[in-house]
């Protein structure tokens, strides 16, 4: 188990402040954030290539904060893989185990198993420069696992690959994790990658941890407006708390001219943001009437075809108020949205709304 408590680090003028998270054995924790948020700085502090200025890093109950990198029992897949072009694939795979002075009998059985699991047996005699992108990724993953580390750190290793190959390697990573019981810490800016691979997510913005929790909670209940914006949620509407009672609030949203009943606690008069993910917004018409607990609005729809689905923006009134939604191609056909801008009705299920303080 990885435990990080109050970790601070500095890289030039950039400061990483008070990061606390844990990764249970056999789980994957994604550190998510935009460029410059501190993801790589955090990873470097855990890896040991950047000294912590405060806080503690423990692995398996052992304090590794001040240990050199080679004594931390970590596997590492850097963003650019770090494979040695002058060595064969097999020598690359053995490098970390040999650097730790492991006996060949201690790592060869695991190496053979990993080579079989990843299907790279035919590559062992080749040089790195002759490999495809996907083959290099597999080699880098196996090299990180050969010494049987307690924790594997992944620094955006799939970023440079095309979508099809990335998904293939996500599944491979899932299979390896299940087969070996791997504990993973993934650094990424890709929302889909984080949701696919991770059980828990931490969101870093500006060197600070803005949210930390189970994947579903972060996805459906972002804690702040900046987290919601980073997660691609633009449906955020200002509101004020009118009533608060027994773990529920009623909030007046002027721009939508509606009062919502929402779970949570706040004081009357508090300013908040009310939001909803675009895929939770539903299209409605005479054949698909509103359901109990849904609030409806009508306006002009503007569609952008994105292949498997479409992004739709509903403009209410003079267009100053907009609601974005993600709809399937089937829904585009059913509601004739491909015919251009037209009047449509949408519903916001109150059960799918979330809120956060405006401060």
**Predicted TM-score (pTM) of this structure:** 0.85
Q: How far apart are CA 223 and CA 272, in angstroms?
A: 11
Q: What is the pLDDT of residue 10?
A: 93
Q: How far apart are CA 87 and CA 290, in angstroms?
A: 64
Q: What is the pLDDT of residue 341?
A: 57
CATH of 2-220, one of 3.30.420.40, 3.90.120.10, 3.40.50.300, 3.20.20.70: 3.40.50.300
> For 276-352, CATH number?
2.40.50.100
Q: How far apart are CA 326 and CA 310, in angstroms?
A: 6
What are the structural domain ranges in the chain? 2-220, 234-275, 276-352
Q: What is the pLDDT along the chain (359 residues), one digit of tens a residue?
A: 999 999 999 998 999 999 999 999 999 999 999 988 999 999 999 999 999 999 999 999 999 999 998 889 898 888 777 888 888 988 888 887 777 777 877 778 888 888 888 888 888 888 888 888 888 888 888 888 888 889 999 998 887 778 888 888 899 889 889 888 999 999 998 889 999 999 999 999 999 999 999 999 999 999 999 999 999 899 999 999 999 998 999 999 999 999 999 999 999 999 999 999 999 998 998 888 988 888 899 888 888 876 777 888 888 877 778 999 888 888 888 887 766 557 888 999 999 999 999 97
Q: What is the pLDDT of residue 339?
A: 61
Q: What is the pLDDT of residue 317?
A: 77
Residue 95 dihedral angles phi and psi, to the nearest 5°: -60, -50
CB 136 within 8 A of CB 181: no
| 3-class secondary structure per residue, the chain | CEEEEEEEEEECCEEEEEEEEEECCCCEEEEECCCCCCHHHHHHHHHCCCCEEEEEEEECCEECCCCCHHHCCEEEECCCCCCCCCCEHHHHHHHHHHHCCCCHHHHHHHHHHHHHHHCCHHHCCCEHHHCCHHHHHHHHHHHHHCCCCCEEEEECCCCCCCHHHHHHHHHHHHHHHHHHCCCEEEEECCHHHHHHHCCEEEEEECCEEEEEEEHHHHHHCCCCHHHHHHCCCCCEEEEEEEEEECCEEEEEECCCCEEEEEECCCCCCCEEEEECCHHHCEEEECCECCCCCEEEEEEEEEEEECCCEEEEEEEECCCCEEEEEEEEHHHHHHCCHHHCCEEEEEEEEHHHCEEEECC
CB 64 within 8 A of CB 58: yes
Q: What is the pLDDT of residue 281?
A: 92
Q: How far apart are CA 41 and CA 196, in angstroms?
A: 23
Q: What is the pLDDT of residue 203?
A: 96
């Amino acid at each position: 188990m990885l435990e990080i408590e109050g970790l601070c680090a500095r890289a030039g003028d950039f400061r990483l402040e008070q990061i606390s998270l844990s990764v249970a054995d056999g789980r994957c924790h994604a550190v998510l954030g935009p460029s410059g948020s501190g993801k790589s700085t955090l990873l470097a502090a855990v890896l040991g290539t950047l000294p912590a200025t405060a806080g503690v890093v423990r692995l398996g109950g052992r304090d590794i904060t001040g240990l050199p990198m080679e004594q931390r029992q970590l596997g590492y897949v850097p963003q650019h893989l770090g494979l040695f072009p002058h060595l064969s694939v097999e020598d690359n795979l053995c490098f970390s185990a040999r650097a730790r002075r492991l006996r060949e009998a201690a790592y060869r059985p695991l190496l053979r198993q990993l080579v079989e699991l990843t299907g790279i047996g035919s590559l062992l005699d080749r040089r790195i420069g002759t490999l495809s992108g996907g083959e290099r990724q597999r080699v880098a993953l196996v090299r990180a696992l050969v010494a049987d580390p307690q924790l594997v750190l992944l620094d955006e290793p799939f970023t440079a690959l095309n979508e099809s190959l990335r998904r293939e390697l996500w599944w491979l990573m899932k299979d390896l994790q299940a087969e070996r019981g791997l504990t993973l810490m993934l650094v990424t800016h890709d929302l889909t990658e984080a949701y696919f691979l991770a059980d828990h997510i931490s969101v870093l913005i500006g060197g600070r941890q803005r949210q930390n929790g189970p994947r579903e909670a972060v996805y459906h209940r972002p804690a702040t407006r900046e987290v919601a914006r980073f997660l691609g949620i633009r449906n955020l509407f200002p509101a004020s708390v009118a009533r608060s009672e027994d773990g529920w609030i009623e909030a007046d949203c002027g721009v939508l001219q509606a009062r919502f009943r929402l779970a949570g606690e706040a004081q009357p008069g508090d300013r908040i943001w009310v939001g909803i993910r675009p895929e939770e917004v539903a299209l409605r018409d005479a054949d698909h009437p509103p359901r109990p607990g849904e609030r409806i609005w009508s306006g002009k729809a503007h569609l952008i075809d994105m292949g498997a689905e479409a992004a739709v923006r509903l403009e209410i009134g003079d267009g100053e108020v907009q609601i974005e939604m993600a709809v399937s191609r089937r829904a585009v056909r059913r509601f004739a949205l491909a015919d251009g801008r037209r009047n449509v009705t949408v519903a916001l299920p109150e059960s799918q709304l979330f809120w956060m303080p405006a401060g």
